[in-house]
């Protein structure tokens, strides 16, 4: 795998119609600077709004992957992203003057050829690989879908599908060397659907740009000639429909014997590009689809964001510690004698955090609370929990160095056992709800696995006051 980031050498364009919208558009790939990532730019809209290609910006996965921010959208981006990721391009601008990329032949190959014609530019910064060091799993019980990432110092994918259809049956495929195999063995695998789905897709206002040159239609039910003609007319295809004898509408030849599952692997590569970083892992996927792919990408992206945070704040790696005191001071504004969390030992990005406070006899509040019977004040236990939660909250916003967390409400606070010198306080905070500027959390504090306090917190995230010159 490549070690340095790369972009393309020059701008290149292609034009055509979108698969689902049928809308004409021109798409131009442009070089981008280091650490820019992949961004779609709607050049046809005022202000040329950008959409970063990350899982957080996915707004629809019904029949493809759609990115959007507010009213700005780009449909069916997975094949474009697969071409970019398959060619190991890290930074690129995709200027598009419509709502959906040209479908080409239904595979990623048209994009690959255009990008190859631009040439590649090696950049100075190293690739920011996400190295999977523990198993990451996604399971959809209802649809029997499993996607797993296993530790591996490389990037490999294995995909299995089973559609319970004689024309398709069970299929599997694997990619073991993206540099050698992607272009020749996977980029030209076309999108497909079943004959039984075609009318439903048309009724939903989709596949307006679909035809038998950009999609493989698998025959999964018997239809008479009259119904076939009516179907072709309904979806606006002039070519006459025939059931054929090879299980593919109009006897179209497959490019590979297992082309459908190869296309599923292609889709998976494109959707995993939404992690926002290249990964090193063994990916195993059973019966994947866009919805599952994106949910898995979101899960892995959280892991990526968490690792970036740890790398940013924790300068010296310590076993069993996510953030030590020095790292916490880089995140929180609190200082002695009011910094009441010593270390963070667990951080599940945007979900949960566990902090530790070692309560010693030297705490400045013990001489007055209470003389001869030192007990940690309940309000300071709540403050320690709140500071632990503050680490979680500040790490969930885009610019934590410019923000403060102000706690607005503390509800249902209960103190179940005194905390005294020598105790080690374990504080678990779980994110319950997050809006743009307000966050709610549930917190529990333990000593020796015994619950000593609990409460619910509401906090506001505000801008730091601007420093004024005297």
What is the rounded distance in angstroms from the CA atom of residue 389 to the CA atom of residue 254?
A: 55
Whether the predicted pLDDT of 201 surpasses 90: no
> Is 290 an active-site residue?
yes
> Contact, 274 vs 301, CB < 8 A?
yes
Q: Give the residue, 468 or 270, on which the prediction is more confident.
A: 270
Q: How many residues does the chain have?
A: 470
**pLDDT tens-place string over residues 5-29:** 999 999 999 999 998 888 999 999 9
| Interior/surface letters 300-320, b for 16+ CB within 10 angstroms, e for the rest | bbbbbbbbbbbeebbeeeeee
CATH topology of domain 314-463: Thiol Ester Dehydrase; Chain A (3.10.129)
> Is 334 an active-site residue?
no
Whole-model pTM: value is 0.84
Highest mean pLDDT among 94-98, 189-193, 255-259: 94-98
**pLDDT tens-place string over residues 419-433:** 999 999 999 999 999
What token pair was written down for 196?
């039984």
Q: Where are the domains of the chain?
A: 4-125, 136-289, 314-463
Mean pLDDT over residues 406-424, rounded? 96
**pLDDT tens-place string over residues 384-406:** 999 999 999 987 776 677 888 89
In percent, the amount of the chain with pLDDT more than 90 equals 74
Q: Give the residue, 51 or 204, on which the prediction is more confident.
A: 51
Task: Spell out the residues 6+ positions from residue 205 whose beta carbon is closer than 8 angstroms to its own.
Answer: none
CATH topology of domain 136-289: lpxc deacetylase, domain 1 (3.30.1700)
Highest mean pLDDT among 223-227, 393-397, 432-436: 432-436
**What does 407-452 look like in DSSP terms, one character per residue?**
EEEEEEEEE-S---TT-EEEEEEEEEEE-SSEEEEEEEEEETTEEE
What token pair was written down for 71?
């009213």
What token pair was written down for 75?
């449909």
Whether the predicted pLDDT of 238 surpasses 70: no
**pLDDT tens-place string over residues 72-92:** 999 999 999 999 999 999 999
pLDDT at 47: 95
Whether the predicted pLDDT of 469 surpasses 60: no
CATH code assigned to 4-125: 3.30.230.20
Q: Which among 75, 79, 263, 290 is annotated as catalytic?
A: 290
Whether the predicted pLDDT of 349 surpasses 90: no
Q: Cα–Cα distances in Å, from 180 out to 89, 175, 281, 287, 396?
A: 15, 9, 17, 25, 38
**pLDDT tens-place string over residues 205-218:** 667 777 777 888 88
Q: Do 4-125 and 136-289 share a fold?
A: no
């Amino acid at each position: 795998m490549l070690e340095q980031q790369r972009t393309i050498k020059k701008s290149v364009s292609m034009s055509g119609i979108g698969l689902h919208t049928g809308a004409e558009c021109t798409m131009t790939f442009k070089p981008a600077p280091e650490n820019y990532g992949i961004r779609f730019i709607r050049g046809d809209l005022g202000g040329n709004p950008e959409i970063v290609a990350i899982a957080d910006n996915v707004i629809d996965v019904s029949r493809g992957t759609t990115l959007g921010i507010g009213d700005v959208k780009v449909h069916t981006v997975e094949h474009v992203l697969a071409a970019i990721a398959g060619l190991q391009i890290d930074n690129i601008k995709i200027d598009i003057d419509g709502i959906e990329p040209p479908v080409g032949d239904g595979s990623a190959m048209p994009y690959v050829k255009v990008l190859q014609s631009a040439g590649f530019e090696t950049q100075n910064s190293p690739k920011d690989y996400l190295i999977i060091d523990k198993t990451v799993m996604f399971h959809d019980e209802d649809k029997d879908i499993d996607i797993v990432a296993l530790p591996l110092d490389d990037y490999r994918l294995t995909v299995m599908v089973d559609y319970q259809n004689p024309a398709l049956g069970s299929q599997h495929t694997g990619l073991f060397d993206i540099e050698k195999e992607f272009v020749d063995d996977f980029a030209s695998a076309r999108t497909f659907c079943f004959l039984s789905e075609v009318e439903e897709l048309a009724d939903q206002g989709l596949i307006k740009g679909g035809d038998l040159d950009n999609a493989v239609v698998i025959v999964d039910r018997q239809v008479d000639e009259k119904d076939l003609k009516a179907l072709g007319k309904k979806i606006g295809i002039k070519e006459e429909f025939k059931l054929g004898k090879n299980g593919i509408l109009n006897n179209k030849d497959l490019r590979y014997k297992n082309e459908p599952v190869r296309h599923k692997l292609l889709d998976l590569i494109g959707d995993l590009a939404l992690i926002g970083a290249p990964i090193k892992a063994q990916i195993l996927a059973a019966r994947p689809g866009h919805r599952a792919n994106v949910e898995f990408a979101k899960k892995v992206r959280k892991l990526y964001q968490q690792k970036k945070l740890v790398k940013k704040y924790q300068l010296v790696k310590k076993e069993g510690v996510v953030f030590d005191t020095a790292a916490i001071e880089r995140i929180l504004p609190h200082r002695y004698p009011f910094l009441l969390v010593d270390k963070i030992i667990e951080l599940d990005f945007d979900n949960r955090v566990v902090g530790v406070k070692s309560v010693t006899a030297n705490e400045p509040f013990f001489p007055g609370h209470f003389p001869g019977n030192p007990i940690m004040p309940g309000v300071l236990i709540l403050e320690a929990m709140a500071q632990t939660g503050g680490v979680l909250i500040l790490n969930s916003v885009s610019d934590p160095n410019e923000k403060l967390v102000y706690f607005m409400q503390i509800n249902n606070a209960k103190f179940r056992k005194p905390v005294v010198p020598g105790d080690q306080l374990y504080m678990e905070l779980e994110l319950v709800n997050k809006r743009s500027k307000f966050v709610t959390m549930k917190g529990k504090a333990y000593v020796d696995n015994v619950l000593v306090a609990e409460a619910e917190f509401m906090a506001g995230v505000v801008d730091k006051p601007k420093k004024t010159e005297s």
